[in-house]
Amino acid sequence: MYKQVMLLGLLLEKPMYGQQIREVIETHHDLFADFIKKPTIYYQLERLNHDGYLEIRRENVEAPGTGYAHEELAQRERDVYYITEAGRQHFSALLREMLGTYTPALSDVDACLFFLHHLAPSEAVALLKERHALVAHYRSLVTQQIEIHHVIDDAHQLANDHKLTLLDAELDWLSRTIEHVSRKQHAINNVNI
């Protein structure tokens, strides 16, 4: 649903064509850029149009070309997406619903924890350390993006703080879990001596 909120919210600001939406997401909403790819944008736009939340108008707009001509702006025919009154109401309802509710979700790792005993503790520790390194690396990428863009408006501050808080919680949990499994490995080693 966050994809619909993002697209409807952007179109609430102003009508845009598909590539323009993608560029706004990449430039101003980089936390979402990896999760809302171009094919997804067009799929969601078509769904929103089908459901009556958007209207598509074929218009001549100043737009870049494709391929090598991307830097050349010229009048080009594009499908421009406009939010409808039903779309405004749907956006408002989604925004309120998503902000006011919490949906517990399990991750892949949650399922794996129930079967951790199928791995040697040393292998489990190695895999958890690998995951910790990946999460730490991703956290550093998010931090770099924050520093590069120097965006300090409330929306970006809140979204970045939320993302970093979740990553910090994951890193903290992983450290405690690695310690727990390591103690188990240590106990097994002491029994075998």
> What's the domain range around 180?
108-192
- Given this model, what pLDDT does residue 189 score? 60
pTM: 0.75
> Which residues in 149-182 are b (16+ Cβ under 10 Å) and which e?
eeeeeeebeebbeebeeebeebeeebeebbeebb
114 with 173, same domain: the answer is yes
51 with 137, same domain: the answer is no
72 with 15, same domain: the answer is yes
79 with 48, same domain: the answer is yes
Residue 66 · residue 76 · CB < 8 Å:
no
Count of domains observed in the chain: 2
Question: By three-state DSSP, how is residue 6 classified?
Answer: helix
14 with 83, same domain: the answer is yes
% of the chain residues with pLDDT over 90 = 59
7 with 96, same domain: the answer is yes
24 with 86, same domain: the answer is yes
- Given a cut of 60, whether residue 192 has pLDDT beyond it is no
